[in-house]
Amino acid sequence: MFYRFVLFFSLLLLAACSGTKTDPATSKAPATVQQWQPPATGAQVAQYKERVKEDNLNEKYFRITVIATEASPEGNFKLKLEYGFNINETDIMLPEWTPGVVLKPVLQKAEGDYHCLLGFEAGDGIFHELYDIRAENGNVRMKQTKGYFKAK
């Protein structure tokens, strides 16, 4: 009985290991992930725009713009926040990620009027939320919603 058991697993192992060899010249290499690179300093990276409905006389917008800086490859970007004639700028720092990966800032619409989420994408197609941005009483409010840290 024991010999049959050993013989069965030996044949199973032999069958699993006996694959056909492929010619390296004809085999396809795995697809490489396209790494995002920030544009030149001052270029617009992402923008979210929504017209202010309450003011029909003027053409006002709730607009969030992410702008590249010299330090964008390290995750530093300029953020321009607008609601009508109320315009502010601030700097944002995206978290450290896997070495060699440049994070791409992404803006997404959130529920309700004059509300969006600022996050990033690390090349995997997944949106990672970082900030909640909304207009309240004519002012733009930005609040960090999540934090990310580099595991050691």
Q: State the pLDDT at residue 134.
A: 96
Provide the domain count of the chain.
1
Top pLDDT among 16 and 146 is at: 146
Q: State the pLDDT at residue 7.
A: 46
Place of tokens 């030149």: 40
Reply yes or no on whether the pLDDT at 108 is more than 90. Answer: yes
How far apart are the C-alpha atoms of 103 and 106, rounded to whole Å? 9
Q: What is the average per-residue pLDDT within 108-125?
A: 95
25 in any annotated domain? no
Segments of 23-83 assigned E as strands: 44-51, 61-68, 76-83
58 in any annotated domain? yes
Q: What is the average per-residue pLDDT within 2-12?
A: 48
Q: State the pLDDT at residue 18.
A: 52
108 in any annotated domain? yes
67 in any annotated domain? yes
- Report the relative pairing of strands 44-51 and 61-68 from DSSP bridges: antiparallel
Provide Rg for the chain, Cα atoms. 25
Q: State the pLDDT at residue 126.
A: 93
Q: What is the average per-residue pLDDT within 30-46?
A: 80
16 in any annotated domain? no
93 in any annotated domain? yes
- pLDDT per residue as tens digits for the range 50-86: 999 988 888 999 999 999 999 999 999 999 999 999 9
Q: State the pLDDT at residue 31.
A: 44
Q: Which of 11-15, 61-65, 94-98 has the lowest mean pLDDT?
A: 11-15
Long-range contacts of 117-123 (CB under 8 A, 24+ apart): 117/145, 118/64, 118/66, 118/79, 118/92, 118/142, 120/94, 120/95, 121/36, 122/97, 122/98, 123/33, 123/34, 123/35, 123/36
Q: How confident is the model at residue 27 (pLDDT cuts 50, 70, 90)?
A: very low
9 in any annotated domain? no
Q: Determine the structural domain holding residue 75 and report its residue range.
A: 44-144
Q: For the purposes of burial, counting CB atoms within 10 Å of the CB of 25, is it exposed (0-12), middle (13-18) or buried (19 or more)?
A: exposed
131 in any annotated domain? yes
